[in-house]
Amino acid sequence: MPTSPSDTSAPYDLAVIGAGPAGLAAAVTAAELGLRCVLLDAGPRPGGQYYRHPAPGLGAAHPERLHHGWSAFTGLTGRLAASTVTHLTEHHVWTAERGEVWRLHATVGAGATGSAVVEAKAVLLATGAYERQLPFPGWTLPGVVTAGGAQAMLKAGLVLPGRRIVVAGSGPLLLAAASSLVSAGASVPAVVEAGNYLGYARGLGTLAANPAKLVEGVGHGATLLRGKVRLRRSSAVVEAHGTDRVTGVTVARLDAEWRPVPGTERRIDCDAVAVGHGLLPQIELATELGAETVLTADQTVALKVDEGLRTSLSGLWAAGETCGVGGADLAIAEGELAARVIAGAPVPAALRRRRDRRRAFAALMAAAHRPGPGWTDWLRPDTDVCRCEEVPVAAVREAVEELGATDPRTVKLLTRAGMGWCQGRMCGPAVACLSGSTELRPDSRPLSCPVPLAHLADGS
Amino acid sequence: MRRTPAELVGARPEPGHTIDFDGRPVPALPGQSIAAALWAEGILAWRTTRVNGRPRGAFCGIGACYDCLATVNGIASQRTCLLPAEPGTTVTTQEGHGRADLAV
Ligand code: FES
């Protein structure tokens, strides 16, 4: 497996962006089918966020204890090591140019000090997802972290944000996060889930067709039982308390629309909160080029793909969470499927069936955890919506109610919400909701990460 | 029930080192990010915000939120969840935009 760009100047047959489950499966499958393939990833090691694991220097003898399906990952990395795939680590692609061949511009290194341009005839976007956040009073206090972030810091750095951690939000990631936090020695007084798992009852056929998912759920359930974790359904953290760091939360029951029910508040002491409301596909490289999108069952924007996982742009494929969030098994199936289509190889019927079953399960899950419109009732006028620019709810409401903004873009221009460092990744869904926007559009970010000005000059 | 993340994965780390956080030595293990080394010491905040001077530390842990910014080896606004803690790394609490030296 080469780890630097090849010295021939010929473009690669295929560039895969992202070395998580989808990207790894795509790259090794494509190379095994004879394509000259390059795999670019922002991280120092393969795996993406899902298969994040401790750095070698930490000497972890049993990284699999932090994971589900670790053998699928070692299978993929074994094939990667034996393959002709060129794996470029710490290469963060910040823009893609279309032409005769694709030109991918990347920053290089953890500090993004270097730069590189990679050319390929086809591109597969496997950039995964990041977490959706809904603000609540106190969510900017130190000790309030994202559920995925708590997982990531645990998996990569073997650290916890505290000893007693409330896990809150919505979606299956919460159970996975709580289960790993408990295994790693934290106490988790409650998992606070805003959705209602009864939603799954509507899809019993889909559940029965995905036994592996049930086993995974039962596994988390057993760990949580042993850790004496209480699951509170139809509930939310409506406030985090503390001055310089979190010391507790208030939890309330929610009605079917996610409005807090007065009088149901309970206080729980904790020294950290891990919070998240599902995942958002990370698709800006494609949407900047005009790729078409679809709305998924949990109101996130994903890339529109055909049955061969082609996007609406010729030469651009997508796999895994970029086509709608659905987990690692689905991502692996889609990576393999897309690579076969790109290589002109047949797609086995069993692979297509596996992919379709997992997609159906993902849609069921997404619908069960879709945020209800009443969540905005737990906000206060002084709650920061935008963490970077410290824009409070009152400013966003003023832009909408008094200044006449009717869409997130106008709110952004009037308030600076979403104009700071993270470019709206944390506040985007909340701002869209508060602006009452029914029009769905992907966030617009011309660059997918901060780029030193010198690289922009070089790249032009 | 296992008690620490390191025990959970049976970690036998290579020898550790220290980084400097606002003049105080903080232990770090090889391969840990700066943010991870700070969390391991129970430090959750290493920045104050530009508008309201509020404390912040790591939030997303994966480079997406920019809450974990600090001045690292004299360079302002570095994402500490992505940067490795190396022997001798100096981390300074960042106030505001971290450009006080430029008076902007
Ligand atoms: S914690 Fe979010 S960017 Fe570092």
Half-sphere exposure of residue B47, counting CA atoms within 13 Å on the CB side?
Answer: 29
Of A61, A142, A226, the CB nearest to B1: A226
| Domain housing B18 | 14-95
In chain B, which residues have their Cβ closer than 8 Å to the Cβ of A144? 59
Residue nearest to atom 3 of ligand 1 (CA): B63
Nearest-angstrom CA–CA distance, A103 and A100: 9
**What sections of A18-140 are H helices per DSSP?**
21-32, 70-81
Are A316 and A291 a contacting pair, CB within 8 Å?
Answer: yes
Å between A353 CA and nearest CA of chain B: 33
Which atom of ligand 1 sits closest to the CA of residue A149? Answer: 1
Which residue of B2, B44, B86 to mutate against A (max A Cβ within 10 Å)?
B44
Domain count for chain B, please give it.
Answer: 1
Q: Is residue B101 part of a domain?
A: no
- Which strands, in side-by-side order, build the sheet including B24-28? B24-28, B17-21, B90-92, B69-72, B75-79
User: What residue of A is the nearest CA neighbor of B68?
Assistant: A142
Q: Residue B37 is part of a domain; what is its CATH number?
A: 3.10.20.440
In chain B, which residues have their Cβ closer than 8 Å to the Cβ of A110? 82-84
Which residue of A107, A133, A136, A159 to mutate against B (max B Cβ within 10 Å)?
A159
Task: Name every protein residue with a CB atom under 6 angstroms from any ligand 1 atom.
Answer: B 58-61, 63-68, 79, 81
Q: Which domains are delineated in chain A?
A: 14-130+280-347 (3.50.50.60), 133-277 (3.50.50.60), 379-434 (1.10.10.1100)
Q: Is residue B31 part of a domain?
A: yes
In this predicted model, what pLDDT tens digit does every residue of B46-93 receive, in sequence order? 999 999 999 999 999 999 999 999 999 999 999 999 999 999 999 999
Q: What is the dihedral of CA A133, A135, A136, A139, to 10 degrees?
A: 80
The answer to whether residue A424 scores a pLDDT higher than 90 is: no
Q: Nearest CA to B56 among B40, B71, B70, B45? A: B45
Q: What's the gap in Å between B70 CA and the centre of ligand 1? A: 11
Q: Is residue B67 part of a domain?
A: yes
Are A190 and A167 a contacting pair, CB within 8 Å?
Answer: yes
Q: Is residue B100 part of a domain?
A: no
Q: Is residue B59 part of a domain?
A: yes
ipTM: 0.94
pLDDT at A334: 98
Q: What angle do CA A428, B61, B4 make, to 5 degrees?
A: 140
Q: Inform me whether the C-beta atom of residue A419 falls under 8 Å from chain B C-beta atoms.
A: no
In this predicted model, what pLDDT tens digit does every residue of A9-23 receive, in sequence order? 789 999 999 999 999
Q: Do A426 and B52 touch (CB under 8 A)?
A: no
The answer to whether residue A93 scores a pLDDT higher than 60 is: yes
In this predicted model, what pLDDT tens digit does every residue of A69-92 receive, in sequence order? 899 999 999 999 999 999 999 999
The answer to whether residue A46 scores a pLDDT higher than 80 is: yes
Q: Is residue B1 part of a domain?
A: no
Q: What percent of chain A has pLDDT over 70?
A: 90
Residue A290's contacts (CB-CB under 8 Å, 6 or more residues apart) are A312, A313
Question: DSSP letters of B17-59?
Answer: EEEEETTEEEEE-TT-BHHHHHHHTT----EE-TTT--EE--S
Residue A425: left (phi > 0), alpha (psi -120 to 50), or beta?
Answer: alpha
Residue B44's contacts (CB-CB under 8 Å, 6 or more residues apart) are A142, A143, A161, A162, A245, B38, B57, B58
Å between B78 CA and nearest CA of chain A: 8
Å between B70 CA and nearest CA of chain A: 13
In this predicted model, what pLDDT tens digit does every residue of A125-171 receive, in sequence order? 999 999 999 999 999 999 999 999 999 999 999 999 999 999 999 98
> Rounded mean pLDDT of A334-359?
96
